[in-house]
Structure 1
């Protein structure tokens, strides 16, 4: 497996680990029979964790597809790996700023992550001009 493929898995874990600790720490008030009960997410930190989790779910498919497309089209693997690793680091920072209630920095990090994703997605288009 490539580093980029491990990054796809890390991105998935980040989505899951964004919400799991909040549910675990709120075990006394969390009802697994109603996991999406809005009253559990009234706490500001829980609400931010839920928002970061949902955004991760929205971002994951595009990232996974972009990595697989770039690899399938035989783009330079080292570049795919570097961009994928950078994406995961930016997403980790994004989650931390979301939980830390830093909306401006969070939005900047979201934009950086999106640009990285676009770059990975369009690597096949630029492949002929990239070093091998």
Structure 2
């Protein structure tokens, strides 16, 4: 606020609102439950995905200025996410998860993905990891 960085402030307010929405949604029987770090990372990851999709749609529609705004928000959000794993690191993580679960076939993919999500939330794109897991289990 002091720096008068309107774009960053706006994005931080969007992040805060998304976290508060999750807190409200998680209230059970009048009890407030705190949002965990893993949930916050999930929220931030989802926000990045939404903005990537929006930027692509804006570019296809010829609205370059709106696409640039979305990409600016992505940069701010990514400042609060852990470093993304490289392809090599992600492949090693998949192999480790397969070994840990003892997965033998494609039927065990859910177990492997569960282990990966518990350890690497916010560090990898699970949509891109799914095909890698399938390939290794096939």
TM-score normalised by the chain length of structure 2: 0.27
Instruction: Specify which structure has the bigger relative contact order, considering alpha-carbon pairs within 8 angstroms and separated by 6 or more residues.
Output: 1
* Structure number, greater radius of gyration: 2
Higher normalized helix content (fraction of residues): 1
Give the alignment's TM-score, normalised by structure 1. 0.28
